[in-house]
Amino acid sequence: MSHILEVKDLTLHYLTRFGQKIHAVTDVSFTMKQGEILGIAGESGCGKSTLVNGLMGLFIPPLYPTSGDVLVSGESLMNRTTKDIRTNILSQKVSMIPQGAFNALNPTRKIKDIAADVMAAHSENKSGNKREIYERLRERFDLFGMETDRILNSYPIQLTAGERQRSVIGISTLLNPKVVIADEPTSALDVTTQKVVIKMIFDLLEKNIFSTMIFITHELPLLRHVAHNIAIMYAGEFVECGTAVQVVHDPRHPYTKALMGAMLSADANQKNKKPTTIEGAPPSLAKKIEGCRFAERCPSARPECRNKNQNLRMVGERLVRCDYAE
Ligand SMILES: Nc1ncnc2c1ncn2[C@@H]1O[C@H](COP(=O)(O)OP(=O)(O)O)[C@@H](O)[C@H]1O
Ligand SMILES: [Mg+2]
């Protein structure tokens, strides 16, 4: 089967006002088949949201592509104007469920008008038949057992956090996009609301509204129940890629191990073990990094790790960016 998403050596940088380059994403490569759910996990600041912009072909200064390619159903998203991407790619081919629903919603517009604006921005048909959009929206919200009339006629501030996030999800998937990217869709929510939002995402998958998804989180254990495959990101690079079972239950990269250790408290079965924290901080992305990016914090680092660049290599059946992983 051909790939629905192909990412080849994607490298992205920010150019700050002071002329400083931030190398936020380095050499990320992966492919996805239709129906696949890929989880991406890593600490805050490791480049997840930057990668999301790259995967949508959305380069708004100060973000720039350095090199590499992103192809959706064989069509490259690089070197396209923002207008072209907004009209022809976003919402239809690739759609993002953003991190903070509140920021994503214009506070001065009702939910139904926000939806109409979004649809108008993302389709050739600018006149965008509003009645048609409302009907589609109504159908979709009904499908998820939402209080459709009240929610569509409310301003964001009149809704609960969960209703807002579910509205954002409903709107961003209205056109049945080929690939959906959920960027920490639950991170600002309380545990109960998180469950409602996750359930809605699974309902959408079950009802075939979309079938291919990238789910991004800083909570690796969450992905065990969500993803088929997992990529672990550290300081702009993928450091381990494998099936969810491999990565969560049998991590091989020292960073993945540390990430699981730091998260043990989230796992009821591991109650007796003490969660460990990962000492230190990731390296600055403002300069080119020599050697292994995790060496400074790695409990099993050897002296040579600090000068030796690490490449992804096969360890068993998964990819690991560490020469000493077994
Ligand atoms: N607009 C920006 N200008 C400069 N640097 C940025 C900008 N946005 C993010 N960064 C930097 O890029 C890196 C990756 O950030 P981000 O992709 O937001 O990480 P994550 O989503 O994993 O928390 C961080 O070092 C961050 O400080
Ligand atoms: Mg982010």
> Domain residue spans in the chain?
5-243
Between CA 317 and CA 323 the distance in angstroms is 15
Q: What pLDDT does residue 1 have?
A: 61
Q: Whose CA is nearest to atom 14 of ligand 1?
A: 47
Q: Which ligand is nearest to the CA of 28?
A: 1
What is residue 283's DSSP assignment?
P
Q: What pLDDT does residue 263 have?
A: 64
Residue ranges in the chain whose pLDDT is less than 50: 265-268
Helix and strand numbers (H, E) in the chain are 11, 12
The tokens for 137 are 């929206």
Q: What pLDDT does residue 160 have?
A: 93
Q: What pLDDT does residue 228 have?
A: 97
Q: What pLDDT does residue 61 have?
A: 97
| Category of 96 on φ-ψ map: left (φ > 0), alpha (ψ -120 to 50) or beta | beta
- Ligand 1: lining residues by beta carbon, under 6 Å: 14, 16, 22, 24, 42, 44-50, 62, 285
Q: What pLDDT does residue 302 have?
A: 95
**Can you tell me which atom of ligand 1 is nearest the CA of 50?**
17
Q: In the CATH hierarchy, which top-level class contains the domain 5-243?
A: alpha beta
Query: Alpha carbon of 193 to those of 33, 48, 260, 278: distances in Å?
Result: 30, 23, 24, 28
**Neighbouring residues of 312: CB distance < 8 A, sequence distance ≥ 6:** 238, 239, 241, 319, 320, 321
Q: Is residue 42 exposed (0-12), middle (13-18) or buried (19+ Cβ within 10 Å)?
A: buried
Q: How many angstroms is it from 50 CA to the middle of ligand 1? A: 6
The pTM of the full predicted model, rounded to 2 decimals, is 0.93
Which residue bears the tokens 């993002």?
96
**Can you tell me which atom of ligand 1 is nearest the CA of 183?**
21
Between CA 256 and CA 258 the distance in angstroms is 5
**Can you tell me which atom of ligand 1 is nearest the CA of 25?**
14
Q: Whose CA is nearest to atom 24 of ligand 1?
A: 45
Which amino acid is located at 294 in the chain?
F
Q: What pLDDT does residue 268 have?
A: 47
Q: Whose CA is nearest to atom 18 of ligand 1?
A: 49
Nearest to 33 by CA among 8, 4, 72: 4
List, for residues 7-57, the tens digit of each pLDDT value.
999 999 999 999 999 999 999 999 999 999 999 999 999 999 999 999 999
What sign for the dihedral angle of Cα 44, 46, 47, 48? negative
Q: How many angstroms is it from 215 CA to the middle of ligand 2? A: 12
Q: How many angstroms is it from 320 CA to the middle of ligand 2? A: 23
What is residue 62's DSSP assignment?
T
